[in-house]
Amino acid sequence: MKPTHVISLVFYLFIFVSCSQGYKEETASTATIVEDTQQVKLDEPKLSSPAAVPVVTQNVQPQDIVNFAKTLVGVPYQYGATDPAIGFDCSGFITHVFNHFNIQVPRSSVDFTNVGTEVETTDAAAGDLILFTGTDSTSTVVGHMGIVTENTDSLRFIHSTSGRAYGVTVSALNKSYLRRFVKVIRIF
């Protein structure tokens, strides 16, 4: 094998492992922080990204997505799963919710990096997607995600977490999540 092929192979393996590890959102060491509901104000600069990949949302309204997602609160966390009878990982939850409305979305959280249009957190609305890194503090790769449920007095989102809640739950954008925050995207 040529050296350039080996480098390419190592790069793709690194991305695959990083993405796979990104599915495990909160570890036991961060689980106590996840429940912290103290809010912090975001003054994050807008990140630049390549051209957005469109998602065809048909005639579905963002609030329909949120309402359906909330019916799944309590479904347990299950790595790699997209079935409510078994459980969900974070992107499996998103996939299931959007597929319920026949909206095709990427299966892995990292694949949402260039989907939709980035919006400021102050402009985030119900149905927008919120992206985070995984729990590896040295990584900047998207490894966790959720659906914004509201953004009135605080930004809240629904997601499937492997942390203390260990399943589908609604969380506030607190200090723990803020440290891992990447961006909010709008696909509607």
Report yes or no: 176 and 36 within 8 Å, Cβ to Cβ. yes
Distances (CA, A) of 134 to 7, 35, 64, 82: 24, 17, 28, 19
Taking alpha carbons only, the member of 128, 130, 69 closest to residue 96 is 69
Residue 172: what residue type?
Answer: A
- Which two tokens mark 39? 């809010």
Name residue 76's amino acid.
P
Cβ atoms < 10 Å from Cβ of 166: 15
90 has catalytic annotation: yes
Report the distance separating Cα 188 and Cα 60, nearest Å.
8
The residue annotated as part of the active site, out of 19, 90, 96, 100, is 90
Residue 30: count other Cβ atoms within 10 Å of its Cβ: 16
Is 38:131 a contact under the CB 8 Å cutoff? no
Would you call 144 a catalytic residue per the annotation? yes
Give catalytic residues, as residue numbers. Answer: 90, 144, 159
